[in-house]
Structure 1
């Protein structure tokens, strides 16, 4: 499978994906894990999205399930970069767009400049 973009952002759920999609201005691929990953599901993601050969960013909620997923993904994808949301908001979907944009831009992910005001 060939991919049009080098960047992959891994999130937990569809609401996270929608929030990020509003903010980014490049064709990064946003992948939902829908929670924790079993070995089989992770292997499928690894192969389907060629995660070993792409720039991978992990952006999950700051709650117990998100932190568990972050640790799991970090072990399996040591080259992945971490993007954190403030514990004030706890969830990617609840993080204001301007703060999310600043966090993404800090990792050289192109964002719509209207969110950087």
Structure 2
């Protein structure tokens, strides 16, 4: 479920990450794709559009060099954000098995569809 009224925002790298999370999550949340690293202008646009300074922000990016670079950049700009990690075994959010990703999201206090917990 997603509404613009949500107080929770998950920032991911790509559309495949977003689609994977949308299948699993059963919570009011906005999922924002960065499409890789962010320039200053794009980051400012995201901050303003989604009011990221006023929301509960979660960063869920790949465990690869580009994901770690993006995580570091977002950590500087959004020090209040909570970081969610996928195992380096899977490296990518989209490549993480649904059950594993569901458990990672539960660990970050999100509600997930029960069918992904079987």
Q: Pairwise mapping of residues 1-117 of structure 1 onto structure 2 (< 5 A)?
A: 3-117=4-118
Secondary structure class of the residue paired with 1:41: helix
Query: How far apart, in 2, do the equivalents of 1:113 and 1:57 lie?
Result: 21
How many Å apart are 1:4 and its aligned residue?
A: 1.0
1:8-35 CA-to-partner distances (Å, cap 9, x unmatched) read: 0000000000000010001210000000
- Matches of 1:113 and 1:58, distance apart in 2: 23
Computed over aligned residues only, the root mean square deviation of the Cα atoms, in angstroms, reads 1.1
Normalization by structure 2: what TM-score? 0.95
Query: 2:31 is paired with a residue of what secondary structure?
Result: strand
TM-score of the superposition, structure 1-length normalised? 0.96
* Distance in 2, Cα, partners of 1:32 & 1:69: 12
Aligned length: 116
Partner Cα separation in structure 1 for residue 24 and residue 106 of structure 2 = 10
5+ residue gaps, structure 1: none
SS state at 1:30 partner = strand
1:61-102, Cα deviation, whole Å (9 max, x unpaired): 000000000000011000000000101100000000111010
For structure 2, the 5+ residue unaligned runs are: none
1:3 Cα deviation after fit: 3.3
> What is the distance in 1 between the residues matched to 2:80 and 2:103?
22
